[in-house]
Amino acid sequence: MKKIILTGDRPSGALHIGHYVGSLQNRVALQHEYQQYIIIADVQALSANAENPERVRYNVLQVMLDYLAVGIDPQVSTIFIQSLIPEIAELTMFFVNLVTLARLQRNPTVKEEIRQKGFGESIPTGFLMHPISQAADITFIKADVVPVGEDQLPLIEQCCEIVRSFNRIYAPVFHEPKALLPEAGARRLMGLDGKAKMSKSLGNAILLSDSAEEISKKVMSMYTDPKHLHVADPGSVEGNVVFMYLDIFDPNKDEVAELKAHYQRGGLGDVTIKKRLNGILQDLIGPMRLRREEFAKDPATVMQLLQQGTLKTREAAAKKMAEVRKAMHIDYFG
C-alpha cells in the first residue's frame, strides 16, 4: 500500500513561483510514489474572506488551473474541495473540545498570520481555529505525510498533539503525520524586493499565470546590490535576489559559481545576470502558461475534474468517520 500524502492550498489568490519551488514541484514529483490528496482549502480561505465568497470561488478555479498547469495529473492525484467534505467539518467540531483557547493563541503560525492581517482584537473565530481544522484536513484521510513549508510546522505539531489526545481519550484511531520540508534552498523564496517572503499581496511575486512581458519586467526590477552602480564595480552576491534565484532555478551550478566570482570581482553588470535569469524563468513558466491557457478555455471540464476528485475523497472519508464515531461512543444506531 502506498503511503498517503495530504497537501494543499488556501484559494486566496493565484499561485506564484515561491509556491512552485516550495511545494508544487514536489507534488508533481511525488504523485506517483504516494497516494496524493490535494485539498483546496476554501473553508480556510473563507475564514478571512467571509464577506467575499465570490473571491474565494473564483480562486478555487485559479488554483486548480495552476495545479494543472504545473503538471499535477488529476487522474493520479486526488484534488478535492474542503467545504464539500462534511467529515472534515464534523471532525473539526469534535477536535475543538481537545484544544484550549490558550493553546490556539500561542500557535506561532496563527499568531504571525493574525499580526500580518492586522485583525487586532477582531479575530474571526474560524481563523483562530486553523490549527484545529487543519488537523481535521490531515487526519480525516489518515495522511502519513504532509509536505509543508517551514512556516506551517507549528500546525503539524499541533495536529500531532490533537491525535495523541484523541487516541488517549477514545481509541487509537489516528496516527501522527510526518511533515516533509522542501529542500533547503527552496524553503523560502525571497520576494523580488529582497525584503520578505514572496507573496502576491505584497506585490513582490512572479505568478505562474504572468505573461512573458510581466516576467521580464519583474526580473529587470529585481533587487540586486544597491552599491553596485557601475559595471566595473565589485558587487555583493549576499542578499542579491538575482543570485538567490539563480541558485535555485539555474541548473548549471558551475556557471553560477563563475558568475558570482566575476560579479564580486567587478566587471559583470546587473543586466547580464538578469537576462540570464529571465531566460531561465521564461523557459520554466512558458510551458505552464500554455497548459493553463488551454485548460482555462474550458472551465466546466476543469470543475468536473475537481468534482470527480471530491466525490472520490468523500467515499474514503465516510468509511474512516465510522471508526471515529464508534470510538467516541456516538455511533447511536450502530
Q: Look up cell 534552498; give the residue.
A: 185
Q: Does 148 bind ligand TRP (CB under 6 A)?
A: yes
Cβ neighbours around 329 below 10 Å, total:
9
Q: Which of 42, 66, 87, 137 binds ligand TRP (CB under 6 A)?
A: 137
Choices 48-56, 133-141, 183-191, 199-207; region in contact with ligand TRP by CB under 6 A: 133-141
The least distance separating ligand TRP from the CB of residue 41, rounded to whole angstroms, comes to 4
- Which triple of cell numbers denotes residue 177? 503525520
- Choosing from 26, 134, 224, 313, the residue that interacts with ligand TRP (CB under 6 A) is 134
* Out of 17, 41, 60, 160, the residue judged to bind ligand TRP by CB under 6 A: 41
Helix pair angle (130-139, 153-169), 10° resolution: 70
DSSP state letters, 19-53 = HIIIIIHHHHHHTTTSEEEEEE-HHHHHTS-TT-H
Q: Is 132 in the site for ligand TRP (CB under 6 A)?
A: no
Tell me which of 10, 27, 218, 292 binds ligand TRP, using CB under 6 A.
10
- Report the nearest approach of ligand TRP to the CB of residue 276 (Å): 31
How many residues line the site for ligand TRP (CB under 6 A)? 13
Q: Considering only residues 4, 68, 138, 163, which one is a binding residue for ligand TRP as defined by CB under 6 A?
A: 138
Is residue 91 near ligand TRP by the rule CB under 6 A? no
Report whether 325 contacts 90 (CB < 8 A). Answer: no
Residues 6+ apart with CB under 8 A from 283: none
Residue 184 is placed in which grid cell? 533547503
- Residue 187: CB atoms within 10 A of its CB come to 14
Shortest Cβ 137–ligand TRP spacing (Å): 4
- For position 44 contacting ligand TRP by CB under 6 A, the verdict is yes
Per CB under 6 A, 87 contacts ligand TRP: no
Comparison of 134 and 224: residue with beta carbon closer to ligand TRP? 134
Stretch that binds ligand TRP, among 2-10, 63-71, 165-173, 190-198 (CB under 6 A): 2-10
Burial class of 39 by CB neighbour count within 10 A (0 to 12, 13 to 18, 19+): buried
39 binds ligand TRP (CB under 6 A): yes
Q: Which is nearer to ligand TRP, 128 or 138 (CB)?
A: 138
Q: Yes or no: say if 107 and 129 are a contact pair by the CB < 8 Å rule.
A: no
With binding defined as CB under 6 A, does residue 6 bind ligand TRP?
A: yes
Please state, in angstroms and as integers, the Cα–Cα distance from residue 103 to each residue in 148, 232, 278, following that order.
21, 55, 45
Task: Please select the residue that binds ligand TRP; options are 63, 65, 128, 146, rule is CB under 6 A.
Answer: 146
Burial 109-141, CB ≥16 within 10 A → b, else e: bbeebbeeeeeeeebeebbbbbbbbbbbbbbbb
Q: Are the C-beta atoms of residues 197 and 160 closer than 8 Å to each other?
A: no
Residue closer to ligand TRP, measured from CB, 65 or 146: 146
3-state secondary structure at position 178 = strand
- Region binding ligand TRP by CB under 6 A among candidate stretches 39-47, 236-244, 293-301, 311-319: 39-47
Per-state percent for the chain, helix, strand, coil, to nearest 5: 60, 10, 35
107 binds ligand TRP (CB under 6 A): no
The stretch among 134-142, 238-246, 252-260, 300-308 that binds ligand TRP (CB under 6 A) is 134-142
Q: Does 7 bind ligand TRP (CB under 6 A)?
A: yes
Question: Is 9 one of the binding residues for ligand TRP (CB under 6 A)?
Answer: yes
Contacts to ligand TRP by CB under 6 A: 6-10, 39, 41, 44, 134, 137-138, 146, 148
